[in-house]
Structure 1
């Protein structure tokens, strides 16, 4: 359970949330909503204990499971299955069992007997903690999240960003935490996994706060809605499901408009009377009182809600280039004995639109990173054509220097622009005033997405490599990104599980991994998008 008392949320001098109190009890399934940058992620960090409020207190009881937008925890060398089992402390017991098994297989005599005794003790601890049943449960959760045994048997360092995030989600669900804080849990999930997660959360008996732009998830799961209004720095609490919340917000907005109009009309009448009375010295005091009544009347009415601003996203006019600015020859990637893909050839022509599809773990992100020159192929080569300028958008925002400010990141991407022009572009992406001095590490997932896209805008790239560009975005910002993809004149290579992004791209060709099949696009491939 969470008990929140008068917490205030700030980033620097900027107020994100005025003091608010609430509690999260078993059975509460709360959807935390609001535009990108409103402070949702910052609030969940405070609730989880990873950050401190500017004021007030958070009291936690029971176990808490927190899924951040960009999970980075865990030893890269750790086996993924052990990372999940570690949520209940079973990983250490299994490590002892494996070590004893290895010793039994290679040792003899007294040493072998000692290893057998050590194995017996470790196994007894494992069984006492519900080990084999728990191991089966962990495998079931992982499988339902699109993580087969082949994946969970690998070290964390070999996994894609999407697989890594699903391992963390599986770990949290396996933990049997009393309260869950989930920040965009459906990112990187295929259609079947999203359906399973909805069902799981519907039946979850503990407390839940979920941040999601997946309205179908919110509609299916939540029984309360917390709306963080960025314009008013207020948390509006609705004890109702998603559909009723949408209707109630519209009703509230109509009521506010009526109340404001009535108050303005009455205040105008009072001020007009006060102005007339001021002409007579004997009525000056009465006029002053009437003016105060008008001011008090207006102060007591909540103003009409200001519409949220939306970033104006337009990808750059591409720099001139040759007929084929990017080629890949015989590209392969493997991790030890594990082959991700082999012998892939592709040519990205000027202005062409290509979508890369395949199951999770098929190497889509790896392929983009190789084409972007960030990773090296295990074999084969990438060749840039005449005038090629590559712009890469990474789903995990690796292109951002999190220790540098928003402004410094932009300057590094646009050395030919002056400070005024850089700030103008940042302003169109809703980074204004002191926001540009914030280090990138404190940005929410949606804000990092906006910054990374802003850096692409000033790059003059003629080939865009886009990896899940619509993740973490509110509906209005997502629509802007889709329009930017639709109108961009350069070449695009897109990895996405968002059917709307593929529709906006209108691809010429498709590359299906891991087989490396390149084909002309047809609607027959559309069914693979949700599996991407």
Structure 2
């Protein structure tokens, strides 16, 4: 595996905790993502795992975490490991968010015991109450000896910095949005890491998804000071520049992992230099090979020179075959939202919508009228119900009160931030077929090709795709829909910069109506919204630049 100079490996700690991959080979179907690779993560390594969408970054991280098996090779994990996948884990959905975080150190059980005995102390009398008081004292003593109260305070600090208020922490996991569950999982991992210190390995796949600007800043500082081993996949260049001291570049062209033992800024220069060198080497080799082939053709016409000609051909072929492939410019999905089908003046109306999860009120009394071609942004702090509102408008959930009323000719297109519109057990082809059942097979193949799905990838289960690939597949389904109202929930998450620009350009050009939820100011600027809906109050206002500051905070 190629490597570059720079800061050497961190000195091993007394009890070394490492992840080692030996002879690793990864495949997606028969496509080789990574071949015969050996790599090691140890204490002090803060690695940025980068490469184009679909190169295999998420697959690589999943294998390093022991969540799936490589096609060949071995993975050895020594010490505690925290792994944040792109899609939130289900876990125990009846557990509260607070208990889920505390469970990282096994404290949730004792907290539940303390709460149970505390209730008994209030309800019982006489000897039974005395026994409960004694039991409470024993549990509390053990809880304190394990640093329980300090740990609770530490967990509260982490969750607060990740934008999880107390009211969210007291809710069962099943009532949380996908983004909230993912932030709970991130808090749980960081809470465990703060206890284990440099003995922990963290593998984080797009950890800034669903975080506001303040939370991203806090996470950046946390990871900068983290002393264990870290591998992070992120499209947040500022995060990579601030945190990583090594870069692993997964080259989709060559199926190799290039290791750069250096900071992000130095890596960018080194990578550009490497690409220029490969192009020069290939150009020189191709020139020499061309001369040899021309000479061989001349000699081959003479029987006495046939052996020499054959040797020249072999030398020319060897010159080319021994070269690394030159990286062509990464292909970018050509994203264009559909030409909207004809519809009435107001294709979508919602009246008096409210939604509760148990005793928790998400929002109430929301009215909304989406006119033909209108452009609306939904704003609100995390947990205010933005994703829930889009699910109600899209018919994915039912309101507790009120109704969503389709107007004349309504054709809805819904993009879900957690890709719930995709069936993970069905293939890429089966998913696009169900999204556009009336389209011709060749038309759909052409469409998938523009979204960079070709050949055997069409038979790949959607659940095995990376976050960026799932985003592209879900957007391809939208394009095939002829929708005249698009409900878009964080459509630029998981995308590399080039693909994100394609989505923004598609937003600018789309002639239908859009209801947009996003933390991306660039997406709002591309939309040129006319109105804003503020949750949880459901109040409506004309859009102004004053609201732009709320986008990243919301």
* TM-score between both structures, scaled by the size of structure 1: 0.97
Shift of 1:340: 1.7
Shift of 1:488: 0.7
- The structure 2 residue matched to 1:83, chosen from 100, 125, 133, is 100
Q: d(CA) in 1 for partners of 2:253 and 2:34?
A: 10
Check if 1:54 corresponds to 2:75.
no
Shift of 1:395: 0.5
Q: Show the counterpart of 1:220.
A: 242
Once the two structures are superposed, residues 125-176 of structure 1 have per-residue CA deviations (whole angstroms, 9 ceiling, x without a partner) of 2112210011000000011111122221221122222211111000000002
Shift of 1:480: 1.1
Is contact 2:254–2:324 with CA below 8 Å preserved after alignment? Answer: no
Is contact 1:446–1:473 with CA below 8 Å preserved after alignment? Answer: yes
Check if 1:346 corresponds to 2:368.
yes
Q: d(CA) in 1 for partners of 2:134 and 2:255?
A: 61
Is contact 2:253–2:325 with CA below 8 Å preserved after alignment? Answer: no
The 3-state SS of whatever aligns with 2:285 is helix
Q: d(CA) in 2 for partners of 1:211 and 1:346?
A: 38
Q: Show the counterpart of 2:331.
A: 309
Shift of 1:419: 2.0
1:513-528 matches, cutoff 5 A:
513-528=535-550
Shift of 1:280: 3.7
Q: Show the counterpart of 1:156.
A: 173
- The structure 1 residue matched to 2:251, chosen from 209, 229, 234, is 229
Q: d(CA) in 2 for partners of 1:341 and 1:164?
A: 19
Check if 1:510 corresponds to 2:532.
yes
Once the two structures are superposed, residues 61-113 of structure 1 have per-residue CA deviations (whole angstroms, 9 ceiling, x without a partner) of 11000000012232111111110010011111111111111222222234323
1:167-246 matches, cutoff 5 A:
167-176=184-193, 178-246=200-268
Greater Cα shift, 487-496 or 144-153: 144-153
When the two chains are superposed, the root-mean-square deviation of aligned CA atoms in Å is 1.4
The 3-state SS of whatever aligns with 1:341 is strand
1:430-509 matches, cutoff 5 A:
430-509=452-531
- Paired residue total: 532
Give the 3 Å change call, closer, same or farther, for CA 408–271 of structure 1 in structure 2: closer
Structure 2 regions of 5+ residues with no counterpart?
Answer: 1-17
The 3-state SS of whatever aligns with 2:75 is strand
Q: d(CA) in 2 for partners of 1:403 and 1:111?
A: 54
Q: d(CA) in 1 for partners of 2:461 and 2:273?
A: 39
Check if 1:142 corresponds to 2:164.
no
Q: Show the counterpart of 2:313.
A: 291
Shift of 1:15: 1.2
Once the two structures are superposed, residues 16-37 of structure 1 have per-residue CA deviations (whole angstroms, 9 ceiling, x without a partner) of 1111001001111110111111
Q: Show the counterpart of 2:85.
A: 68
Q: d(CA) in 1 for partners of 2:322 and 2:30?
A: 27
* TM-score between both structures, scaled by the size of structure 2: 0.94
Shift of 1:413: 1.4
Structure 1 regions of 5+ residues with no counterpart?
Answer: none
Shift of 1:242: 1.1
Q: Show the counterpart of 1:273.
A: 295
Shift of 1:478: 0.8
Give the 3 Å change call, closer, same or farther, for CA 504–268 of structure 1 in structure 2: same
Q: d(CA) in 2 for partners of 1:74 and 1:283?
A: 73
Q: d(CA) in 1 for partners of 2:296 and 2:425?
A: 58
Check if 1:252 corresponds to 2:269.
no
